[in-house]
Amino acid sequence: MTETKRATIFGSEAERYDQFRPSYPSEIIDRIVEHQPVAAVDAGCGTGKAAVLVVQRGISVVGVEPDQRMAEIARRHGIDVTVSPLEDWDVVECDVLYSAQAWHWIDPRRGAEIAATSIRAGGRWAAFWNYETDTHFGDIRDEVYRRLAPELLDHDAASQDDALRMVIADGLRATNAFDDLVADDVPWTDRVTINVVIQRLASHSSHRLLEPGRSDAINEALQHALGAPTDVIELSYTTRIFTAERR
């Protein structure tokens, strides 16, 4: 499966993605708007989960999303969306271009070139990802994965280490348009039901690529291990954000 096809696999479950995927802490949105931008571009905006938060700060947001099904939901949330891969997007000027949970789907060199063209001097590029950091939940999840889908144990590992930072930094550096990349981690807690936790995992691209029977078996095993669907738990997250200033 190509990266383009994989990037749009969420569209088949767009409603579930929108309903169950975690949001982002206010500190992350603070980083997006701290220079008081007027116009922002959300690269790979999905169903608009981050864009809605930025709009609430009084910023005009244009979303760029390759999947029509995801874009339709973002539009229902009031986001102006262009359906296109960022690499093929007709660039418009902005003060900040950011990507929530999506920059790893974008070609790092071409994406950086687009960002350099779009962002006005003195503006900002940013990308951020949520990571589950709850060790108790992680142990339960990984035990289920070991039994039923061991390939999931290593999925997305590269995006959680220095490899992602190096790829991003190289792409931005090649444009000669950005200052050095800055990374920061923001810890936070999400209070959700067991059903939301299971549906959230099921919305990940790695799960979406499994055969339906295997995916169902994982969901059932997690349900058995975690508790009743309506039970509420607190999950620890860290949102990792990378930023670079446009010269």
- Measured in degrees and rounded to the nearest 5, phi and psi for residue 134 equal -80, 110
The average pLDDT across 122-137 equals 95
Place 158 in a pLDDT band, splitting at 50, 70 and 90: very low
Q: Is residue 195 situated within a structural domain? A: no
What is the pLDDT at residue 126?
A: 98
Q: Is residue 143 part of a domain?
A: no
Calpha distance 131→203 (Å, rounded) = 14
Amino acid 224: pLDDT: 95
Domain range for 161 = 3-132+157-189+239-245
Q: pLDDT above 90 covers what percent of the chain?
A: 84
Is 137 contained in some domain? no
Q: Is residue 138 part of a domain?
A: no
The arrangement of strands across the sheet holding 182-193 comes to: 80-83, 60-65, 39-43, 94-100, 119-132, 232-245, 182-193
pLDDT confidence bin for 5, thresholds 50/70/90: very low
What integer pLDDT is reported at residue 2 of this predicted model? 45
Q: What pLDDT sits at residue 221?
A: 97
C-alpha distances in angstroms, 211 versus 36, 134, 140, 214? 46, 27, 22, 5
Distances in Å between the Cα of 33 and the Cα atoms of 61, 78, 143, 226, 243 are 12, 19, 40, 38, 12
Within a domain: residue 93?
yes
Q: What is the mean pLDDT of residues 85-106?
A: 97
Residue 4 pLDDT > 90: no
Q: How far apart are CA 83 and CA 11, in angstroms?
A: 12
Task: Say how far apart CA 33 and CA 54 lie, in whole Å.
Answer: 8
Task: pLDDT band for 11, please (50, 70, 90 cuts).
Answer: low
Residue whose pair of structure tokens reads 């789907």 in the numeric block: 105
Rounded mean pLDDT of the chain? 92
CATH number of domain containing 125: 3.40.50.150
How many domains does one find in the chain? 1
Looking at the predicted structure, is the pLDDT value of residue 162 above 50?
Answer: yes
Average pLDDT over residues 96-121: 97
Within a domain: 42: yes
Write the pLDDT tens digit of every residue in 30-48: 999 999 999 999 999 999 9
Per-residue model confidence as pLDDT tens digits over 12-30? 689 999 999 999 999 999 9
Q: Please provide residue 161's backbone torsions phi and psi, each rounded to the nearest 5 degrees.
A: -125, -165
166-220 pLDDT per residue, tens: 999 999 999 999 999 999 999 999 999 999 999 999 888 888 889 989 999 999 9
